[in-house]
Chains A and B, each alone.
Chain A
Amino acid sequence: MINDELYKRHHVVQAIAILVVVIFVARLFALQIIDKSFRDKSDNISLVKQTIYPPRGLIYDRNGELLVYNQPIFEVMLVVRDMNKGEAPFDTLAFCRAMRIEREQFDRRMGEIRDKSKNPGYSQYRPQVFMTQLNSVDIAPLQQEIYKLPGVSIRKRTLRDYTYAAAAQVLGNIGEVSQKDIDNDSYYQSGDFSGRDGLERTYEKVLRGEKGMEVLMRDNRGCIQGHYENGALDRDPIAGDNITITLDIQLQLLAEELLQGKIGSAVAIEPSTGEILALASNPTWNPSLLIGRQRSANYRELLNDKTKPLMNCATQAQYSPGSTFKTVQSLVCLQEGGITPNTMYPCSGPGSSPIKCTHHHGSPVTLLGAIEQSCNPYYWQAFRDMLEKNGYGKDNENFRARYQLWVDDMRSFNLGRKFEDSDISEQSRGSVPTTDLYDKLYGKTGWRAMTIRSNSIGQGEVLVTPLQLCNMVATIANEGYYITPHLCKEDSFLEHKHMTAVEERYFPVVKAGMGRVMTNGTGRHYALPDGITSGGKTGTVQNSRGRDHAIFIGFAPLDDPKIAVAVVVENAGFGATWAAPIATLMMEQYLTGKITRTDLRYRIGTTVLNANVKSRK
């Protein structure tokens, strides 16, 4: 050791070294422990979370026929920042060549991507969709070139495809989620698809499955280097569940065929289960039109079509029920003691007042005859007697109470309200006018049975949807109850059983009357072949939009109903002429599996009643 006077200076050198290390440790503490922002930054920069889309659940009909399945499509994604990060500039020409687009198209699309007003989720760090819905042939050239193109990636997804060009409104379609969807359900991210309407929307959570995720590592040039932590954080997608629906696709196809060239709808229900066998609405379209690249153009066309194809007439259009209403009217009047099956009322044919009869038949008539002949005066008198049973009373009290009873009874057939426990997403309520409504219109004492007489024959303020009509006739077939009509073949729906306010004992006579319609009355020309019995009721509904609407409701066989049908054809004229054949052909198809009345099928299916209705099959 060298003893010198400067020996103490080695402490200064030691202190410098210690000071430096202490400063560094403090700095490390600040960077690594206190400041947490760096952790997130690091994940954003070098880890890429890539969504893997699960295949959507398939849809089968009640007989196990595949209706809706998936086809693979490809999306081209760009990370704008990574494109310009490579050592050489981004090879736009090679990219355009691979995509088979022009340079101008590329520039225009890049402009759209960068334009925050058109693409609010734009970020130069995150993948942006450059082009979507490409099939495997379209994408092949790009797949070969992609290694040269930094920032470009291909994402695989699936698109819907359809076995039959049918049931477009029922099945619904899939579209990109809106900002609102994203806000409501954190599952969705911008660019995801979800069911927009129909079953695709109702059963979205069942069908969509669960998205998977890959956590990939990206190097400084934006090239993917593999899975982070050997895929430990990756999640496989879970495929959506398949669903089986209640439709019989053959029956649906027939219904749509018969409705061609007309505006209208046809609904068929299995009364014992409430399962909807067919739910046809025309005009309609081939569901394949709303997939792929042409989706938006086609959707716009459908939206602008004056015949409103996007509306599901079967569940959303509301009509006066016309004479078909006489079936429930009979039941309610029986129940509430307005009439008995033997009550007779006189009819003066077209000379009757205040409502004239449109048919010529003997007078007086009993209930059976009234149904068979669709006698208007009978129903006016029965309705009046039912309402006036206790007189009008002080301040119209007694009359209004009776009317309320009538309303409640009608509502027990689920008229004037939606099927809340059903899986049909788009429904209208229809209308059974309330006491309040008339009180408001005429004052509490200002209305009498006479005031609302049109309701007696289904022409007044009562409005129904074809679905409600069909459910109504299914309820009659069941003699007093209905199972909520539904589309998904799931046993839990069978518990949705609703009793009507009308006792079971009143139903046979009405059913018998409906049977006589098909043998002696307005439906006699369309009795089912092979001696299959049926019950039915025609309706010819006056309306403000031109010719009468043709309506028919019915069920078959008469003694053990297997199918209930309601058909509405707008502006077609007599219910017997246009609606009854469609309904009975559907019954025949469903009950026998074939159509023997081929001439009738051809004639109805090819007749164009509305020239504006476009065929989009």
Chain B
Amino acid sequence: MASRQNSVFRYVDWTTIGLLLILLLFGWMNVLGASWSFDQTNWFDFTYRSGKQLVWIGTALLIGFVILMTDWKLLQASAWILYGVMLLILLATPVLAHDIKGSLSWITLGPVSIQPAEFSKYTTAMALAAYMGRYGYKVRSWRDLLVPFVLMGAPMAIIMVLQKETGSALVYASFVLMFYRKGMTGNILLAGVAAVFLFVLALKAGATAAIITVLAITLLVIAYLFYIRWKDSRRFRWSHIWITLLLSAISCGFCAGCDWAFNHVLQDHQQRRIAVVLGIMDDPQGAGYNVNQSKIAIGSGAFLGKGFLKGTQTKMNFVPEQATDFIFCTVGEEWGFVGSTAVLIVYLILILRLITIAERQRDEFSMIYGYCVVGIFIFHLTINVGMVLGLMPVIGIPLPFLSYGGSSLWGFSILLFTLLRLDAARVEQLR
């Protein structure tokens, strides 16, 4: 026991823990800044969010400690059970939930409310790692990815359909990054990028213009293919022409479908949020209010920011959800360009570190799990900060370790510390 404890602390990745502590400390300062009111005199008053967040941080670190103390084999072994239990909880949540702002994703346990979706990311990642980490598993064809897609899609569907939490559900899409690393064709990523591009184009410029663009690109590609034939006919394949035409047809259909889907499939508020981001609609009092206020808050921070606790926009409640999803506003307003960039760089270092950790694993389980964590962090950072900066539609997901909230903090801590536990075990195994 003593030796294991010793070894965990010797081999745990202190760089990651250091980065984590930086983010937690800075996050707490910003929660304090965002929720600071002028009658508050004590920073540690537990009736205020800053005080509560301190409790969340303390318990999160405690959970992390417990995970580090746990046998890694036990963690691996519990993957399936936890996944199953969590699916049941997710299913039960809408029934047990208190309606908070139209979403049915919170259950109340005594004094605290918990959002199970924050934890199902972990169980899903573990289940994926368990399935794909089996001896002999390899992504060779679509069939190999069928089960992982079901594992990923089940909680996603429950959260989206039953809990109506589109944002939390979309997070599961981040596992695509891990699939890619483990062998899924990169064309899927490209197709995703192309789809987003066409979607934006179709909504902004209209379906017709998008289709014309697609046809123009098709012509260029075919011209290029015939150029190759003329130059070196051995490299020419007719199949390339057919594939190009097929993709072109699919793209045109997609563009036409986007318009229809936007107007008929998406809910009203989702349509508006997207339209605002794309600049189709200007609605500073409605759907654009959050983002507009958020841009004002960030912009007013200028180079050096207004200083700790001196932000006026965030503190005066102009920015909704300022301590949770819009916490990055406070960073921007109080710490300016310098502070915001510093936070982004700390995140980047953390993500790159996590990639390094994932890459250095010796067993598939740990590596797959590591890439799940990497995907989740990249996704949260991209969507959250993108939303705050007005680059993404408003999708309510927290910024890891900075946003106020116990569930998300616990969820991210469990994700991170489990990876650190598995990473430390890598050295133990070696010995």
Q: Is the CB of A39 within 8 A of B316?
A: no
Indicate if A297 sits at the interface (CB-CB under 8 A): no
Contact code string B354-389 (vs A, CB < 8 Å = 1, else 0): 010011111010010001001000100110011001
Q: Pick the contact of B302: A9, A23, A32 (CB < 8 A).
A: A32
Q: Is the CB of A12 within 8 A of B385?
A: no
Segment of B52-60, B117-125, B335-343 engaged in the interface with chain A: B335-343
> How many inter-chain contacts with C-beta < 8 Å in the A-B complex?
133
Indicate if B313 sits at the interface (CB-CB under 8 A): yes
Indicate if A24 sits at the interface (CB-CB under 8 A): yes
Complex Cα distance A320/B355, Å?
105
In the complex, chain A residues 218-248 whose Cβ is within 8 Å of any chain B Cβ: 218-221, 225-226, 228-229
Complex Cα distance A7/B359, Å?
8
In the complex, chain A residues 1-25 whose Cβ is within 8 Å of any chain B Cβ: 1-2, 6-7, 9-10, 12-14, 16-18, 20-21, 23-25
Q: Is the CB of A28 within 8 A of B362?
A: no
A166 to chain B, nearest CB (A): 51
Return the chain B residue nearest A47 by Cβ. Answer: B312
Return the chain A residue nearest B386 by Cβ. Answer: A24
Q: Known: A12-B180, A20-B382. Is A39-B360 also a contact (CB below 8 A)?
A: no
Q: Pick the contact of A21: B297, B302, B348, B358 (CB < 8 A).
A: B348
Q: Pick the contact of B364: A2, A7, A12 (CB < 8 A).
A: A2
Indicate if B246 sits at the interface (CB-CB under 8 A): no
What are the residues of chain B within 8 A of A32 when measuring CB–CB?
298-299, 301-303, 332, 336-337, 340
Q: Is the CB of A2 within 8 A of B362?
A: yes
The CB with the most chain B CB atoms within 10 A, among A27, A42, A219, is that of: A42
Contact code string B314-351 (vs A, CB < 8 Å = 1, else 0): 01111000000000000011001100110011011001
Q: Is the CB of B337 within 8 A of A46?
A: no
Q: Is the CB of A42 within 8 A of B389?
A: no
Indicate if B98 sits at the interface (CB-CB under 8 A): no
Q: Pick the contact of B317: A25, A38, A220 (CB < 8 A).
A: A220
What are the residues of chain B within 8 A of A420 when measuring CB–CB?
none
Q: Pick the contact of A27: B360, B362, B391 (CB < 8 A).
A: B391
Complex Cα distance A42/B389, Å?
16
What are the residues of chain A within 8 A of B134 when measuring CB–CB?
none
Q: Pick the contact of B378: A17, A219, A226 (CB < 8 A).
A: A17
Return the chain B residue nearest A5 by Cβ. Answer: B183
What are the residues of chain A within 8 A of B385 when measuring CB–CB?
24
B51 to chain A, nearest CB (A): 20
What are the residues of chain A within 8 A of B386 when measuring CB–CB?
24
Q: Is the CB of A24 within 8 A of B318?
A: no
Return the chain B residue nearest A25 by Cβ. Answer: B341
Indicate if A147 sits at the interface (CB-CB under 8 A): no
Q: Known: A21-B348, A46-B312, A225-B316. Is A1-B359 also a contact (CB below 8 A)?
A: yes
Q: Is the CB of B181 within 8 A of A46?
A: no
Complex Cα distance A32/B367, Å?
39
Complex Cα distance A105/B370, Å?
70
Indicate if B204 sits at the interface (CB-CB under 8 A): no
A224 to chain B, nearest CB (A): 10
Return the chain A residue nearest B180 by Cβ. Answer: A9
In the complex, chain A residues 41-93 whose Cβ is within 8 Å of any chain B Cβ: 41-43, 45-47
Indicate if A442 sits at the interface (CB-CB under 8 A): no
What are the residues of chain A within 8 A of B299 when measuring CB–CB?
31-32, 35, 37-39, 41-42
Complex Cα distance A12/B177, Å?
10
A520 to chain B, nearest CB (A): 85
Q: Known: A10-B181, A226-B38. Is A18-B313 also a contact (CB below 8 A)?
A: no
Complex Cα distance A32/B362, Å?
44
What are the residues of chain A within 8 A of B303 when measuring CB–CB?
32-33
Q: Is the CB of B361 within 8 A of A2?
A: yes
Indicate if A299 sits at the interface (CB-CB under 8 A): no
B389 to chain A, nearest CB (A): 5
Return the chain A residue nearest B333 by Cβ. Answer: A42
What are the residues of chain B within 8 A of A39 when measuring CB–CB?
299-300, 302
What are the residues of chain B within 8 A of A45 when measuring CB–CB?
296, 313, 318
Indicate if B84 sits at the interface (CB-CB under 8 A): no
Indicate if A217 sits at the interface (CB-CB under 8 A): yes
Indicate if A29 sits at the interface (CB-CB under 8 A): yes
What are the residues of chain B within 8 A of A28 when measuring CB–CB?
298, 332, 337, 340-341, 344, 389
The CB with the most chain A CB atoms within 10 A, among B181, B364, B371, is that of: B181
What are the residues of chain A within 8 A of B358 when measuring CB–CB?
10
Complex Cα distance A2/B300, Å?
48
Q: Is the CB of B186 within 8 A of A12?
A: yes
Q: Is the CB of B361 within 8 A of A42?
A: no
What are the residues of chain A within 8 A of B337 when measuring CB–CB?
28-29, 32-33
Complex Cα distance A612/B358, Å?
104
B358 to chain A, nearest CB (A): 8
Q: Pick the contact of B296: A1, A29, A42 (CB < 8 A).
A: A42
Indicate if B295 sits at the interface (CB-CB under 8 A): yes
Return the chain B residue nearest A38 by Cβ. Answer: B299
Q: Is the CB of A17 within 8 A of B302?
A: no
Q: Is the CB of B180 within 8 A of A219?
A: no
Indicate if B310 sits at the interface (CB-CB under 8 A): yes
Complex Cα distance A423/B88, Å?
91
The CB with the most chain A CB atoms within 10 A, among B186, B299, B310, B351, is that of: B299
Q: Is the CB of B352 within 8 A of A14?
A: yes
Q: Pick the contact of A217: B297, B300, B312, B382 (CB < 8 A).
A: B312
Q: Known: A46-B316, A225-B316. Is A2-B367 also a contact (CB below 8 A)?
A: yes
What are the residues of chain A within 8 A of B183 when measuring CB–CB?
6
What are the residues of chain A within 8 A of B332 when measuring CB–CB?
28, 31-32
Complex Cα distance A18/B374, Å?
13
Return the chain B residue nearest A228 by Cβ. Answer: B312
Contact code string A569-596 (vs B, CB < 8 Å = 1, else 0): 0000000000000000000000000000
Return the chain A residue nearest B385 by Cβ. Answer: A24
Q: Is the CB of B316 within 8 A of A1?
A: no
What are the residues of chain B within 8 A of A35 when measuring CB–CB?
299
Q: Known: A28-B337, A33-B302. Is A220-B316 also a contact (CB below 8 A)?
A: yes
Indicate if B164 sits at the interface (CB-CB under 8 A): no
Q: Is the CB of A16 within 8 A of B378?
A: yes
What are the residues of chain B within 8 A of A43 when measuring CB–CB?
300, 312
Closest 8 CB pairs of A and B: A38-B299, A42-B300, A219-B316, A46-B312, A32-B337, A220-B317, A21-B348, A226-B38
**Known contacts A38-B296, A220-B316; 20 further A-B pairs (Cβ under 8 A):** A2-B362, A9-B180, A9-B181, A12-B189, A16-B177, A20-B382, A21-B345, A24-B386, A24-B389, A28-B337, A33-B303, A38-B295, A39-B299, A39-B302, A45-B313, A46-B316, A217-B315, A220-B318, A221-B317, A226-B38
Instruction: Name 22 interchain pairs, CB-CB below 8 A, sorted by A.
Output: A2-B362, A9-B181, A14-B355, A21-B344, A21-B345, A23-B391, A24-B344, A24-B385, A24-B389, A28-B389, A32-B298, A32-B303, A36-B302, A46-B316, A46-B318, A47-B312, A217-B38, A217-B316, A219-B316, A220-B318, A228-B312, A229-B310
